[in-house]
């Protein structure tokens, strides 16, 4: 009996050892990680956990949680996922550490493109880029003889044609949920129309020609969308695609793989990608791109930081990319762009700008979100909306010490 038990135990230990075998080193320092919850991060998390002693929390609200969690001493997480926006409070409060030494020691396999340098110091490691670009049903576009729209006038024309043909419930989809989602779409168009959010002295500059054009275009686009667009987040639009309810959308690259997932999608092989359309003919794409990756907390011991860094690299190594090639636009060596990645790469090549990493970005986005929603529900006119955006921004910018 005892012998049997020992045998069983040995087996289970062996099995556990087998799971960790894919990691290049045996991690014996407990590491806690918080990351965003989309599929690419799930893949990275699975790979990190192979090193042992790694506890990962996949969380939709990293953007609000990571700053206070890393400000604690000792920090509540060793590793946090970051992007252009979420890195700002971490830099601002000095809660993440420079990675230059760790990169020199362990980062031989990193692509130089992955190193996020701020003021000369490496502050984060990027694993992928993410953005919205055109995704469209090529079967519908071919059948109706529609060219891939290059700018938003052509988007409206294409939507009109699809509406006339009546092949789907709604021609257009958009992630216009009444929170940061709709804010991002306003920003994309606003930048496309050549707008600047904030002047050099931090005063707002949204109340402009570009602002007016953006709102006008959003009203026109809304006519071709599911009227309940204010509750449409990325998953909602993804399902609209998968269930054949919409024909095209300027949609997140990170969701592209889901279109071809036979378990959930009815449109496997029917969706193609292209560059985000320009706002005006000949302009830059009406889309901003951001990078997604990891930063290491400052308020932890150097030993923990070293282990955390190695675990993070292990999570995003070439092996992981090989297994999950289609989940994201990886920056890691070994990534082979598929057809679904065309849209993202073309968007950047056409001159899309990276999302700015500044303190005012959060403030102005907050003001934009709320007021654009009220514009879309008809509670405010375009002029009132833009004036209220500037007023709300001014109030909070004063409190943030910017004005």
Partner 1 sequence: MRRKTFWKFVGPSIFLMVLFIALPLCGVFWQSFFLSVPVVEAVEVETCTPGFPSQVCTTVTKSQAVLDEFGRPVENTTFVGLELYRSVVNPEAVREAFASRNPGAILRVDFWRALRFTLTFTFVTLPFVLGLGLAIALAVNNSTQRLRGPVIFVSLLPYIITPVIGGISIYWLFVGDGIVTQLIEGLLDRNVSVMTRGWAVEALMMFYRVWHIAPFAFVIFYAGLQGVNRDTVESAMIDGASRFERLRYVIVPHLMPLIVFVTLIHLMDSYRVFEEIVAFNAQSQRISLQWLTYDFLQPDDSGNRAIGRAAAASMLTMIGIVIIIFPVLRRAWRDHRA
Residue 390 tokens read as 């500037």
Q: Which of 27, 35, 80, 84 binds partner 1 (CB under 8 A)?
A: 84
Residue with tokens 């570009």: 210
What is the per-residue DSSP string for 257-307?
HHHT-TTT-S-TTTEEEEPPPBSSTTS-BS-EEEEEEEEEBSSS-HHHHHH
Cβ distance to partner 1 smaller for residue 156 or 376: 376
Q: Which of 37, 148, 167, 359 binds partner 1 (CB under 8 A)?
A: 359
For residue 73, which phi and psi values (nearest 5 degrees)? -130, 110
For partner 1, which stretch binds (CB under 8 A), given 36-44, 145-153, 222-230, 315-323?
A: 222-230
Q: Which of residues 1-60 bind partner 1 (CB under 8 A)?
A: none
Cβ distance to partner 1 smaller for residue 230 or 284: 230
Cβ distance to partner 1 smaller for residue 119 or 147: 119
Cβ distance to partner 1 smaller for residue 234 or 400: 400
Binding mask 172-211 for partner 1 (x = CB under 8 A): -----xxxx-------------------x-x---------
Cβ distance to partner 1 smaller for residue 136 or 289: 289
Cβ distance to partner 1 smaller for residue 20 or 230: 230
Distance between CA atoms of 42 and 28, rounded to whole angstroms? Answer: 22
Strands 353-354 and 132-137: unpaired
**Helix crossing, 209-222 with 359-376: angle to 10°?**
50
Cβ distance to partner 1 smaller for residue 200 or 303: 200
Contact 85, 124 (CB under 8 A): no
- Angstrom distances, CA of residue 149 to CA of 136, 192, 248: 10, 15, 10
Residue 233 tokens read as 């987040």
Binding status of residue 114 toward partner 1 by CB under 8 A = yes
Contact 257, 340 (CB under 8 A): yes
Binding status of residue 226 toward partner 1 by CB under 8 A = yes
Spell out the residues 6+ positions from residue 170 whose beta carbon is closer than 8 angstroms to its own.
224, 225, 226, 240, 245, 246
Binding status of residue 354 toward partner 1 by CB under 8 A = yes
Total site size for partner 1, rule CB under 8 A: 70
Binding status of residue 313 toward partner 1 by CB under 8 A = no
Kindly list the residues in this chain that would bind partner 1 in the complex (CB under 8 A).
Answer: 63-64, 67-68, 84-86, 88-94, 112-120, 126, 129, 177-180, 200, 202, 226-228, 230-231, 236, 291, 298, 331, 345, 348-349, 354, 356-363, 365-366, 370, 373-374, 376-377, 379-380, 384, 388, 395-396, 398-402
């Amino acid at each position: 009996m005892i012998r049997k038990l020992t045998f069983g135990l040995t087996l289970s230990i062996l099995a556990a050892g087998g799971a960790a075998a894919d990691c290049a080193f045996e991690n014996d320092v407990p590491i806690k990680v918080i990351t965003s919850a989309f599929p690419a991060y799930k893949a990275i998390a699975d790979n990190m956990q192979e090193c042992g002693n790694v506890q990962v929390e996949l969380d939709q609200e990293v953007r609000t949680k990571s700053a206070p969690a890393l400000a604690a001493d000792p920090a509540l997480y060793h590793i946090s996922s970051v992007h252009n926006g979420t890195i700002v409070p971490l830099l601002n409060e000095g809660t993440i550490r420079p990675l230059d030494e760790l990169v020199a020691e362990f980062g031989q396999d990193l692509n130089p493109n992955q190193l996020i340098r701020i003021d000369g110091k490496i502050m984060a490691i990027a694993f992928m880029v993410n953005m919205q670009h055109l995704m469209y049903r090529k079967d519908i576009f071919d059948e109706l003889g529609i060219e891939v729209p290059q700018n938003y006038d052509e988007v409206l024309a294409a939507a009109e044609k699809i509406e006339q043909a009546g092949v789907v419930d709604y021609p257009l989809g958009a992630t216009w949920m009444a929170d940061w989602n709709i804010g991002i779409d306003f920003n994309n168009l606003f930048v496309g129309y050549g707008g600047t959010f904030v002047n050099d002295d931090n005063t707002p500059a949204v109340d402009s020609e570009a602002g007016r054009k953006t709102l006008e275009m959003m009203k026109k686009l809304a006519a071709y969308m599911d009227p309940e667009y204010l509750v449409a987040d990325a998953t909602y639009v993804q399902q609209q695609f998968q269930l054949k309810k919409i024909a095209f959308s300027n949609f997140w690259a990170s969701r592209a793989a889901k279109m071809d997932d036979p378990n959930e999608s009815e449109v496997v092989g029917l969706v193609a990608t292209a560059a985000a359309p320009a706002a005006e003919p000949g302009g830059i794409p009406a889309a901003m791109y951001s990078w997604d990756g990891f930063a290491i907390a400052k308020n932890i011991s150097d030993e923990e930081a070293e282990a955390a860094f190695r675990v993070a690299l292990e999570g995003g190594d070439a092996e992981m990319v090989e297994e999950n090639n289609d989940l994201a636009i990886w920056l890691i060596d070994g990534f082979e762009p598929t057809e679904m990645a065309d849209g993202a790469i073309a968007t950047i090549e056409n001159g899309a700008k990276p999302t700015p990493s500044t303190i005012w970005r959060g403030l102005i986005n907050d003001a934009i979100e709320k007021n654009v929603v009220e514009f879309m529900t008809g509670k405010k006119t375009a002029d009132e909306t833009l004036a209220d955006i500037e007023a709300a921004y001014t109030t909070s910018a004063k409190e943030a010490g910017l004005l």
